[in-house]
Amino acid sequence: MNAAPARLPAKTRPFIVVLLTLMLIEGASIFEYAMILGALPFFAEHFQTDIVAISWTLTVFILVGAAASVVAGRLGDVYGRKRVLMVLLVLSILGSLISFGFGSLPAIIVGRALQGTSAGIIPLVMGIARETMPEKRVPVAVIVITATANLTAGAAVLIGGVYIDHGEWRLMFLTAAALGLLALALCWLVLPRPTADTAETETETGTVGIDWVGTLLLAPALISFLYGVTHANSAGILDPLVLATIGGGLAVLVFWGWWELRVPNPIVNLRYAANPKIVKILLVAACNGLGVVSVTGIVQPLMAQLPENMPIGVGMTATEYGAYHLVAAGVGFVLAPLAGRWAARFGGHIPFIMGGTLAIASTLLMVWGPLNQQLPVVVGVLVVTGVANAFLLGSLYSMLIDAVPAENTSEFVGLGQVVHNIMIAVGTVIGSSLVASSVIEGTTAPTTGAWQLTLLYLLVMLAASIVVALTVRRQRPADDAPQVAVPVVAH
């Protein structure tokens, strides 16, 4: 007898209620990452240690998050996205409370490791959006959710700065815990619970399971590789530990890939990932991470905050830069639904190409000295980049969701996120090396030549991502059946 579908009529929630809930959950996740970005110099002074030790508060989050993205996505696809999402929220809340309660650097690092599991939230959120929303509204929801992440990141930096300036830095972690608790409550009350649990049914028949060997191999492989990449700048790419961790991580990843191709229920379906359309989208994600996400995070703060007597810079304070950055993210958030409508009508590659074109325009404005030292131009660059980022990341996820079956949504969004984040780490090393390749004597400010070389690299990556995106046609796989709205059962 054929199993009944999980999507049976029950009690539904309005689209806007589910969307706002998913936005809050993703916002809580991003707040945990971004709140600490402006706190590193303060922590170095407060704990009387160097920036290398303090950087572990960021590094451990990234390392744990890389593994969590793929593993949580697959677990959600098999055992239920809501269940796994609630577990991740509980772990991240626990991490925030540990950091708040103990307040020592080792405790903060442990807490940040637990918070890093929240990086696995985005694949689950995207999968839930696809489950619960009408198909035509999914691209809008995806792009709005990712734009929320950009907006929350800007707000988190400002809020963290306010707490530090008022001597209450621990409140960052308490605020993160409170947001996590609110997200957890809404997750329980609002998000869907199918009336029939297909995951359990299929597991009982032996058709679905988790490749725990692959899971255990993937996590240390990603952590080892990313550890080496993130420390290449400070220790040097030829440092023995950097080479050992990068090489060891790659070796384990190769073995993991060999293993995944030989098990019936892989943590990532590499055979399906070899689909030409998915390969192209992952390549777009790689170019995006190598370029606009990583490099603009380096050059734009320099352009804004370097003194006016340098070849580049308008002398903003950190607070002024944070405020303008928040405004830019806000503009991107407001315009995100427009990109979502274009993605729904024409496919995600169209708003991605538009976002890439905007990013090229803003990069060109940064190249020339007379322009990159004018405050209105710099503010304009920040705003245009904010819109571009909202279009690019949301459209990237939209393309990926459009390319895979519904039951594998979180798995492949997690894979895309890992590829994207790994390339961000690599791009940060490349961008930092280029911008520091030639500095003005007695300063850390780049010369005009180093500045232009860095931006040329950025333009090449942007052009490459647009060219590949142009080849991504909107066409769902044959086995991706039409979607029916998932019911939501009140708790």
Question: Which value, to the nearest 10 degrees, does the dihedral of the CA atoms of residues 328, 333, 334, 338 take?
Answer: 120
Residue 439 bridge partners (DSSP): 446
pLDDT score of 483? 40
Max Cα-Cα span within the chain: 77
> What are the DSSP calls for 399-460, one per residue?
HHHHHS-GGGHHHHHHHHHHHHHHHHHHHHHHHHHHHTSSB-TTSSPBPHHHHHHHHHHHHH
The CATH T-level fold of domain 8-194 is Growth Hormone; Chain: A; (1.20.1250)
* H/E element, 323: helix 318-346
The CATH T-level fold of domain 271-477 is Growth Hormone; Chain: A; (1.20.1250)
For residue 75, give both structure tokens.
């677990």
pTM metric for this prediction:
0.79
Q: Which residue, chain included where needed, has tokens 């049976």?
A: 8
pLDDT score of 24? 93
CA distances from 39 to 5, 44, 140 (A): 49, 9, 34
Question: 211: helix, coil or strand?
Answer: coil
pLDDT score of 52? 61
pLDDT score of 110? 93
List pLDDT tens digits, range 209-249. Answer: 677 888 888 888 888 888 888 777 677 778 888 899 999 99
pLDDT score of 474? 64
Residues of the chain below pLDDT 50: 1-11, 195-207, 476-491
Contact by Cβ (8 Å): 385, 359 = yes
